[in-house]
Each structure stands twice: as C-alpha cells, then as structure tokens.
Structure 1
Amino acid sequence: MTDTVLIPGGRDVRASLDTAASDGDRADAVVVACPPHPQQRGHRGDERLAAVSDALTARGVDCLRFDYGDWDEGYGESTDADAAVSWAAERYERVGLFGFSFGGTIALVTAASRPGLAGVCALAPTARLNPDVDAVAALDDIVALGVPARVLYAARDTTAEWRPVVDRAEALGVGTTEFGSDHFFVGQAGDVGAAAAEFLIPRLGSD
C-alpha cells in the first residue's frame, strides 16, 4: 500500500510511503529514498527508487520516497532530506537512507549529521553538488559517527563523478559494490534493489 505524505517544514516536500504490512501492523523500520537531480527529471517515482522500495517492502521494511521542494542548488534539497529523516524518526524505531545519483550524494551528506541512522546506501553518487556539499568529506563523518555505509556504483558510468567517492570509501573500509553498467543501470533496477536491500535489511533489524 502507498500513502501520500506531506513532510513538515518550510519547503513543499511531498512523499510516497510504501508500507510493507498488509495486516494493519506498522513496520518498525523505514528507508528514506532520495531521488536523482530534479532538474534532470529526477523524482520519487524513479525506477531505481521503486525497485529498492519493492525489495524492502517485500522483506518487512517501509520506504518513504520523496520529491524535493523548489530547486535550491543542493542546499534546500539537503534540508528536504533531513526533514524527511526527521519525519521518519518520529514514527519508526529504525531509519535508513538510500539515494541515487544526486540523491546518493544527498543521502551521504544527510547521514553525516545523523548518528542514529541504521545505515546509508548510495547508488552512483557524484562527488560534489556545490562548493559546500561534498560526499567525499561526508564519508569521513559517517565513519566517525559509526553509521554503516555502502556505495554502489557502475563501472561504465560517465555521467557522475563517482570515482572520488568510491576511492575514499574503500580507503575508509566502507563497502562498495560494482555493477557492469552505465549510470542509469538499464535493465538492472531489480539487481540494484536487491543489493540495497541486502545491505540495509540486516541493519534495520528485519528478516
């Protein structure tokens, strides 16, 4: 089941909450999913986000897929993600983060200031969104906080500047998973969903 959610805050942030339970019982855990770049038609219905949600809800974890508010060079979008995590943390015992591309960077930057997160998984994150939003530096903070992290990337990705993120992750001992794909993971959305769920589910206390 999917419900529409309005995320409180100063920006217009709308979300879809995909729920795992069919018997009326609420799940204890949720993953907040950050979409790709909104100026490149990224939105909460992105097939990679949907595939992750399907894999999570099939195994007892809810998924909150949200759309960013008005474009704000990555600054407001980071605020949107943090607001979505706050909304989730008020309602669930455990919260994880996932993001794709621009959203992967947003997820890492958001996780860097959230010590209570169960885990963060970034798919094809770019190294930097703007001068102040840096996924590479965020990895250091995530490790220092003790938040489990995983970076998924495509070996043939020529769209996102992912290499600095992967290199830093491996230097810090953060797990990485390579796909034989380009940036868009054409025909591999199901595999992406399975890989993200395989990392997140144990840390969310499900299955």
Structure 2
Amino acid sequence: MPTERLAIPGSRDVRATLACENGEGILVACPPHPRHGGTRHDGRLTAVADALPNRIDCLRFDYGPWDQGRGERTDAASACSWAAERYDRVGLFGYSFGGGVALRVAAETTVDAAAALSPVAHLDDGTDVAAAVARVDAPLWVGYGTRDTTVDAGRVAEAADEAGGAVETFAADHVFVGQEAAVGERVAAFVDDSL
C-alpha cells in the first residue's frame, strides 16, 4: 500500500504517515507513550495498518510536544478532524497510552468505530479512561493480554463490556511478543466490520 508523509493541521506539530488506496474509510492510529519510545512506527500500529483491507486507509501519527495526555488528545482529535474532511467513515485505534487517548477522544468526538489494544485506565494527567468508555457512541472493541502487568487494561475492558462493546483477550503480556500480526488481524477485522 503506498504511503504519504504529511503534517496534520492544528496548534501542535503533528507528523503522520498515511497508508492509502483511496479507501472508503480510514483508521486513525494513536501510538503508545511517547516518553517510552512510542511512535507511529510502533509494531502493533503497523501490524493493524498492514492487515486492513484496501478499502480502509490508515493514518498513523506522532504526538506533538509532550503534554501529559492533554495535548496528545488534541493531536488525536486533530487527526480525526483531518480524516473526517476527507473520508465518509472514520475509525479510531490506539495501543497502550494511545489506547487511552483513542478511547477518551472517541468519547468526545464523532467516530464510526473505536478500538483499543491494552489501553491504560488513566492518562498521565489523571484523566479516567475507563469512566469515559460509557460515552463512546460507536462500535467499540477492547483487547488486552491476560499476562499484562504494565497497565490496568482489564478495568477498561470491564467498562467496555458493560457498555456493550466487544472484549477480546490474548495469551500475552503488554507487548504481544510474536503476536503482532495476529493482533493486527483481529483489530482489522473489527474495523472492517464496523466501517
């Protein structure tokens, strides 16, 4: 799938990679924690992008300057706005910190699908991600590893289950060693069904 590098318009410096086939819909992908090396090139994000059908493009972006979750939510919302101007259907996905960002933004923005892999229960600024899940007004998917001791994704998954979302577990820790392709296929299948 051809890719294009671009800057997302907005108040912060947000750089992105668009993998596109001029699809009908798009998935905006939020990277993990930038202070722990999270970028748009994260293996879980690229696995999802690679597994998407050609009819769905993927926008992976890097956050602007670190802002404890506040600015990163602004970045994700800006990426969704950019996508909504160009596509009829927009999905939002994130991994780890990015999963928390994606779910919080999905609770405040109109999206057509929301998915999070091993999402944090709280962002660094104290924002309660699990409490926001009930306000997501779109098909919802949360996946996490049963051996994950890095984040409290189980709390977010419980909230998603209570909200009628789909919850899927994997026999994995937080980083899904050796399972990136399988995880990418599961997220892509959800997005394909929802968009």
TM-score by length of 1: 0.91
The letter for the 1-side match of 2:71 is G
Q: Which residue of structure 2 lines up, in the alignment, with residue 92 of structure 1?
A: 87
CA shift for structure 1 position 43: 0.2
TM-superposition CA deviations, 1:108-140 (whole Å, max 9, x none): 00000123x110000000100135522111111
Is 1:165 the counterpart of 2:166? The answer is no
Which one-letter code corresponds to 1:2 in the other structure?
T
Q: Where has structure 1 moved over 4 Å in runs of 4 or more?
A: none
Shift of 1:171: 2.1
Q: 1:44 aligns with which of 37, 40, 59?
A: 40
Matched AA of 2:18: L
- Alignment-derived partner of residue 122 in structure 1: 116
Deviation at 1:158, TM superposition (A): 0.5
Show the counterpart of 1:135.
129
Cα drift, residue 59 of structure 1: 3.7
1:174 CA drift (Å):
1.4
Matched, 1:32 2:23: no
The whole-number CA distance in structure 1 between the counterparts of 2:109 and 2:48 is 21
**C-alpha deviation, 1:60, in angstroms:** 2.1
* 2:6 corresponding residue in structure 1: 5
Distance 2:73 2:127 in 1: 9
Structure 2 equivalent of residue 18 of structure 1: 19
Which amino acid is the alignment partner of residue 59 of structure 2?
A: L
- Secondary structure at 1:11's aligned position in 2? coil
Matched to 2:123, the amino acid is L
* Aligned-partner SS, 1:128: coil
Partner of 1:201: 192
The Cα of 1:94 is off from its aligned counterpart by 0.5
Task: Quote the RMSD (CA, aligned, Å).
Answer: 1.0
List per-residue Cα deviations over 1:44-96 (Å, max 9, x = no partner).
0000000000011x442100000000000000000000000000000011000
- Name stretches of at least 5 consecutive residues in structure 1 with no aligned partner: none
Q: Report percent identity of matched pairs.
A: 49
Distance 2:162 2:125 in 1: 23
Unaligned runs of 5+ in 2: none
- The alignment of Structure 1 onto Structure 2 pairs a total of residues equal to 194
Letter in 2 for 1:18: A
